[in-house]
Amino acid sequence: MGNPRTVPIVQKRYADTPYRYGFAPTVQVITPPANGQYYLPGEGIDVKVTFRDGAGNRLHPDGSLPRYSDFVSERIDSGLRYYDGFQQLLTLYYALKHREGLTMWSVAGPSERLKMPSHVVGFFDFFAPQTTMATVSEDGFSSVATLNPRFAQLAVPDARDTPVSDTVHFVIPEDARPGTYVVTVKGRRDWGGEALNRAATLEFEPDHALDYRIHLIHSRSDRFAADVYRCATCHLTPPDGPPRGFPGIGPY
Ligand code: HEC
């Protein structure tokens, strides 16, 4: 009673705001594999993210995201949030670590090998175009990740005003194993009193070709009752090219 506090409140009419509640990120891989079928180690892939609210309104224009400087000065009307460890006076193992937010993108696989990695990420690794989070030799799978805005864009004050793209370029690690990979994007939104974090995932095959898979599986599984070596069982016209995936046929 004897210690009043005053909080200034500015009201906006809900009908006048361009956004609605909810948070729905979607992710696309926008560069097709060079060979038209599957990505190879060392190849680049461009991953594009679109953040929308629950009514489908875009939270940023096509092609770009707000700058980190916009976040720091609280100028992002859509409520998108970025890494806020600096605002929370970050120290290692501090009590409010669970409140720290960030926007992170990653590519990892093969998906059936994913587990908690043991690879140690050094501080300066965060400044690289992509940060290695797991390696085949240490963890049995590959994982690369980045913050977006990039760590170099938010940790260096002079860089905080540089444009932020909605597309991130990743390079498949040289030692990547064949299989299904998963792209993951995690984002945050705090709008109209509703704080949400949401992730979107997308699976793709860096080393997948339909013929290889079909031949491989049906020549080894007993579930396919027909003779896979009778090519006409599936092929209406005799195929040309190497019959990939059969045990004992060709170099594949
Ligand atoms: C169980 C079904 C099945 C059988 C049996 C099968 N194939 Fe295929 N094969 C496929 C499928 C599915 C594709 C992928 C077609 C695509 O990508 O459009 C394919 C693709 C291929 C391709 C790649 C070029 C192309 O035409 O798409 C070759 C070459 C091929 N098969 C050879 C063979 C040969 C040789 C045999 C027999 C020894 C054989 N296949 C038996 C299902 C089969």
Residue intervals in the chain for CATH 2.60.40.1930: 17-204
Is the pTM above the cut of 0.75? no
pLDDT in tens, the chain (252 residues): 789 999 998 888 888 899 999 999 999 999 988 888 889 999 999 999 999 999 999 999 999 999 999 999 999 999 999 998 887 766 666 676 777 788 999 999 999 999 999 999 999 999 999 999 999 999 999 999 999 999 999 989 999 999 999 999 999 999 999 899 999 999 999 998 899 999 999 998 865 567 777 887 788 777 778 888 889 989 999 888 778 777 766 543
For domain 17-204, the CATH class is mainly beta
Predicted pLDDT at 25:
97
Task: Measure Cα distances from 117 to 49, 143, 151 in Å.
Answer: 25, 9, 21
pLDDT recorded at residue 208? 53
CB atoms within 10 A of CB 154: 26
Q: With H, G, I as helix, E, B as strand and everything else as coil, classify residue 137.
A: helix
Q: Ligand 1: distance of its center to the CA of 228 in Å?
A: 9
Q: Is 234 in the pocket of ligand 1 (CB under 6 A)?
A: yes
Residue of 217, 235, 244 best suited for mutating to test ligand 1, as the one with most atoms within 8 Å of CB? 235
Question: Given this model, what pLDDT does residue 224 score?
Answer: 77
Helix (H) or strand (E) holding 146, with range, is strand 142-147
For ligand 1, whether the C-beta of 214 sits within 6 Å is: yes
- The best mutation among 208, 213, 214, 227 to test binding of ligand 1, ranked by most ligand atoms within 8 Å of the C-beta, falls on 214
Give residue 235 CA to ligand 1 midpoint distance, Å. Answer: 6
Q: Check if 250 has its Cβ closer than 6 Å to any atom of ligand 1.
A: no
